[in-house]
Structure formats: structure tokens, C-alpha cells
Amino acid sequence: MNALPNLSATMPQPAGLGAQYTQVRQRTAALCEPLSPEDTVVQSMPDASPAKWHLAHTTWFFEQFILSRREGFKPFRPRWDFLFNSYYQSVGPMHARPQRGLLSRPSLREVMAYRAHVDAAMAEALAGEVSPEVAFLVTLGLNHEQQHQELLLTDIKHLLSINPLQPAYRDDLAQRRATASPLSFVDGHAGVIEAGHAGVGFAYDNEGPRHPSLLHPHQIAQRPVTNAEYRQFIDEGGYRTPTLWMAEGWDVVQRQDWAHPLYWSDDLQSEFTLGGRRDIDPHAPVCHVSYFEADAFARWAGARLPREDEWEHLASAQAAISGNFQDDDLLQPMPADEPSEGVSQLFGDVWEWTSSPYVSYPGFKPLEGALGEYNGKFMCGQWVLRGGSCATPVSHIRATYRNFFYPADRWQFMGIRLGRDVS
């Protein structure tokens, strides 16, 4: 593992790292407290994973990549690496992803014992002097777990939505009411900029290296597209007009009979949320739309989706990262607190689709060894989203963060911000 970033100036001190470890691990367990043991076993579709698997896999990550390096290491249970490896082919074989919901054993109690065992070993490992390399690996593991916190929420939302009773994950989630400001556009920078992570603080390998990028004259909407605006697209035949859609997207619309965002009712009056079924808030950002839907909406609106470097340059100018995140405990996109004449809601609420394919930056090199499989090998056929969502921990996000999904995916909190060219 000799291709790690410059670690000495970017990783937290060992004492702070131990506190971060405890906070992140406890948060994952807390997210599972509203679930029954039965909830944690079921897998609603191949793209989702059971909550119990998320709990075990994030634990396996620390055992595999950190604890296994320690003298005298013994795995908690032989063969659990086969069950809870995700896609690290260089580590060894793994249980098929679409069949994770068939793992009734080990039990949830055993998985929680596994977490406790690894947490105790990690506390011991972090109590003494921590090398920059180990500090990086722990920080990577914590960011990995925060990713799975969001996946845990979106996966359980999908699972509960297909239950005929549509039970709430939690019935105490608050709502925020506000009126969306009229849609307007702000001028983006034109010219050569520097894009990508600058190397201070943690970042995934796919966020770098820093590189020049040419921006043409453009504008970006000051807020995300709302439910009311998307409803107008539906009412005016957006899902019935093939000229608005990419060919593959139109095929998906026809094959899967899409007529509205995921979780909306067919009468377009309500949507399923982690708080149960609720009336659609016309002022909230539309969410659970695919890249195909976002692109079609933009075309219908006489606009386009922003490029990821356009979005990043605008976001990098923000004074601070703030918004509706997992930490706010709303777990649903909400209207902005108050109308803004400037750019709002770049961070939080919904991941925003960009028009940029998920490919490497110039000079990109993945980490060596198994961790090189984390991002680089997925740079094919996916599209970049930016900004985080209402299910993302606020400490996890930054302006350079690149999320990525396939264009037909929509079970994540995915939304739309418009861009347009300026002649």
C-alpha cells in the first residue's frame, strides 16, 4: 500500500480519530434502532442490501483492511469474509449480491456481537501511536461507513415502500414548510479553472488529481427543481413525449411503465417517505428521479443539466457547507428555510444529477492493492451526482465529492438542478 496520498498533514490526530470512530459506528447502530430483526434481513431488490448486511460489511472493512495487519490477528468467524466482502475481488470470493437477503444466519445478535468485537479491537489499535498509513485507512473506513449509512436508509425506504401496508421507518420525523423562491439562474464562471481535490483533508481517489478544466459561458439555476415544477412536466405529457428522452431512457420508460418519480402515488397527490406516506409538498425539491428523467425534464424546460466542473466551481465558492443533511433528522428533502436571491441548497436535500459521465480525471491513479477497487473500476456507464442529500452525514460531503450511479437508478435521493448555455 505505497500509493496513498500525502498523509502526514491531512489525517486527524489519533485522539480525534478514536472519537470519530466511535461517533460514526454508534450512528450506524442508532439508524437501525427503529428496525425489527425481520426488517434487517430482507432484500427488496438486487441493488439494495439488507440492513444486517450493511452492519456486517462495514465491520468487515475494518477487520479486513486494518485489524488483519496486527500481530496475532484471528478473524472473528472463519468464512464471514465470504459473506460480507462486497466487490473486492483481490481479497477473495464473495456471496452473490442479489442473494444477500437469503442470509438468515448469522443472526442480527451475532452481527452486533461482531461489531462489538471489532470495535473493541479498534479501540485498542487506536489507543497507541497511529501511523499516517493506519490513520488514512481508518478515515477511509469511516467515510465508507458513512456511505453505507445513507445506503441503509435508502434501502430500508425501498423495502418498506413495497410492503402493502407501507409502514413508516419512523413516525416522529418532522416536516418543514416553506415557499420556494421563483426559479432563476446565476452566471457561472467562464474560462480555465482548477477542478478536483486540492489535497488538504480526506478525499477519495476519484476526486483527484487537481487539473485544469475549461468552462464555457453558462448559467446554473439558483435552486433545485421542485415537485410542482416536475408535476407540470408530467401534466404536459413529459412521460409520453419520446423526443424529450434519450433512446435508452425512453426504452426504460416504456418497459417499466414510468409515469412519475419513484414513490409518488399514481394520482400524483402523495409520496412514500421514511416517515410514511405524506402529501407531496409542491415547494420541496423533487427526488427519486433517474438521470433519464432529469435529462428529459431539462430538455422540456429548455435547459440542460450542469457539468460536474460547472457545479463544483460554483459550490467551491460557498462560504460553508450547510443544508438539510442526515444530521438534521428530517430524512426527506425540504424547501429552503427562506427564499434566497443567491444560490441555495447546493448541499443536502437531494443529490443533483450532472451531465458528466463518471470517468477518471487526467492523471488519475487508483490506490494500490485491494483498495484500488474502491472507485476506479466503476468508471464505466455511470453518471456523476453532486452535493449530498438529506440522508448524507454533513461531515461526509465536500464540493469535490463525486457520487455516481447508473442512469436508470432512482432509489437514492436524486434530484435536479438546471443549467444552460449562454451565447
- Say if residues 29 and 21 touch (Cβ distance below 8 Å): no
Identical topology for domains 14-161 and 185-421: no
Asked if the model's pLDDT at residue 106 lies above 70, the reply is yes
Q: Using one digit for the tens of pLDDT, what is the confidence trace for 251-270?
A: 999 999 999 999 999 999 99
Rounded Cα gap, residues 106 and 83, in angstroms: 10
Asked if the model's pLDDT at residue 7 lies above 50, the reply is no
Asked if the model's pLDDT at residue 116 lies above 60, the reply is yes
- Predicted local confidence at residue 15, as pLDDT: 55
User: Comparing C-alpha atoms, which of 27, 34, 311, 45 is closest to residue 150?
Assistant: 27
Q: Calculate the CA dihedral of residues 43, 44, 47, 48 and round it to 10 degrees.
A: -50
Q: Which of 90-94, 189-193, 248-252, 267-271 has the lowest mean pLDDT?
A: 90-94
User: Comparing C-alpha atoms, which of 362, 354, 409 is closest to residue 384?
Assistant: 354
- Average pLDDT of the residues in 175-193: 95
User: Comparing C-alpha atoms, which of 294, 296, 307, 293 is closest to residue 420?
Assistant: 307
Sheet of 414-415, strands arranged across: 403-405, 383-386, 351-357, 414-415
- Say if residues 166 and 160 touch (Cβ distance below 8 Å): yes
- Predicted local confidence at residue 366, as pLDDT: 87
How large a percentage of the chain has pLDDT more than 90? 88
- Say if residues 349 and 224 touch (Cβ distance below 8 Å): yes
- Predicted local confidence at residue 2, as pLDDT: 31
Q: Using one digit for the tens of pLDDT, what is the confidence trace for 37-49?
A: 999 999 999 999 9
The C-alpha cell at 14 is: 489519533
**Burial class (CB within 10 angstroms; exposed 0-12, middle 13-18, buried 19+) of 16:** exposed
Tell how far CA 345 is from the center of its chain: 16
- Predicted local confidence at residue 341, as pLDDT: 67
- Predicted local confidence at residue 374, as pLDDT: 83
Tell how far CA 203 is from the center of its chain: 15
Asked if the model's pLDDT at residue 307 lies above 90, the reply is yes
- Specify the CATH number of the domain 14-161: 1.20.120
Asked if the model's pLDDT at residue 392 lies above 70, the reply is yes
User: Comparing C-alpha atoms, which of 298, 316, 312, 323 is closest to residue 386?
Assistant: 312
Beta bridge partners of 221: 185
Asked if the model's pLDDT at residue 14 lies above 80, the reply is no
- Predicted local confidence at residue 369, as pLDDT: 83
- Predicted local confidence at residue 373, as pLDDT: 81
- Predicted local confidence at residue 319, as pLDDT: 80
- Predicted local confidence at residue 376, as pLDDT: 85
- Predicted local confidence at residue 99, as pLDDT: 97
- Predicted local confidence at residue 305, as pLDDT: 98
Rounded Cα gap, residues 268 and 229, in angstroms: 13
Coil, strand, or helix at residue 359? coil
* pLDDT, greater one: 88 or 233: 233
Residue 253 has a CB neighbour count (10 Å cut-off) of 22
| Side chain identity, residue 98 | P
Any idea where the domains of the chain sit in the sequence? 14-161, 185-421
- Average pLDDT of the residues in 50-75: 95
- Say if residues 138 and 27 touch (Cβ distance below 8 Å): no
Asked if the model's pLDDT at residue 11 lies above 60, the reply is no
Rounded alpha-carbon distances, angstroms, from residue 229 to 222, 238, 295, 297: 14, 12, 14, 9
Q: Which CATH number fits domain 185-421: 3.40.50.2000, 3.40.50.1820, 3.40.50.2300, 3.90.1580.10?
A: 3.90.1580.10
- Predicted local confidence at residue 340, as pLDDT: 62
User: Comparing C-alpha atoms, which of 330, 258, 342 is closest to residue 294?
Assistant: 258
Rounded Cα gap, residues 52 and 369, in angstroms: 27
Q: Using one digit for the tens of pLDDT, what is the confidence trace for 127-157?
A: 988 999 999 999 999 999 999 999 999 999 9
Band of residue 222 on the pLDDT scale cut at 50, 70, 90: very high
Average pLDDT, the chain: 94
* pLDDT, greater one: 247 or 372: 247
- Predicted local confidence at residue 395, as pLDDT: 96
Band of residue 89 on the pLDDT scale cut at 50, 70, 90: confident
Asked if the model's pLDDT at residue 412 lies above 50, the reply is yes
Rounded Cα gap, residues 356 and 117, in angstroms: 42
